[in-house]
Amino acid sequence: MAQTRAIVITGNGTNCEMEAAHACRLGGFDEAVIAHIAEILSGEIRLDDFHFLNLTGGFLDGDDLGSAKAQANRLKHAAVSGSAEKLVEQFTRFIADGKLILGVCNGFQLMTKMGMLPALDGDYLGQTATLTFNDCGRFQDRWCYLKSDPASPSVFTKGITKGIYLPVRHGEGKFLCDSAETLARIEAGHLTALKYSGPDYAEATMEFPANPNGAQNAIAGLCDPTGRLMGLMPHPEAFVHYTQHPRWTREELPEEGDGLILYKNAADYVRKNLL
């Protein structure tokens, strides 16, 4: 039987790669490989051999030029060693082949700055949005309630009817679009899979600290029109088991953490559509 394969890219200041790989395995992937970006640039590892790409949190290149901007430039222009191929060609082929990409925190910042999100009109290399400094002017490390949109095409949030509870830890998490038209198209397409909310998940909120960064329209997570690419500032890999919940000793909780569903949905999609 064919194996479901996930890859987690590390290096140049990322972190959370161990947690992301663990979440992939718990979610049902047969294999989760942690690969340094240098291994991909050298040609030793190719994205073509995987079904699910994880871009993790961290502080790529020290957030010089703004969060993830240096890595975005690197991935768009660097060539694979010993080949005439540019690395970005592997990314665009990965997307064209119907595969999945999840960017978390720094990974979400990377996806927006490469242009992979929101990717309106199928343009995966034209930047139309960004993630910038929190309105509060400082790093935020807290847990947030995230209201889901059941109408979203996102593969990852399928089955989340109300919302989920996840931690954030970032200094540049404020989502902004380049124009009112871009924002309107994002909303009309239900691409805003997750928004910051109160504990009842009833309404999105712009109020601090429930919205920890002042994100436009309270956007915490965004997908492309196909639903196969998604980025979010909260960390799903940081809540895959109840013992990671901040009140696990005081509340009765299910064994699975809220973040695990994103990885289970990814594994289910791969089994049904890519093998």
Active site residues: 105, 235, 237
The conformation of residue 201, written as its DSSP 8-state character, comes to: -
Say how many C-beta atoms besides its own lie within 10 A of residue 253's C-beta.
Answer: 15
3 state SS of 223: strand
Residue matched to tokens 């990885």: 263
In this structure, what token pair is assigned to residue 185?
Answer: 């198209």
> Which class for 207: exposed (0-12), middle (13-18), buried (19 or more C-beta within 10 A)?
exposed
Which residues have a Cβ under 8 Å from the Cβ of 121 and sit 6 or more positions away?
none
Round to whole Å and give the CA distance between 206 and 197: 8
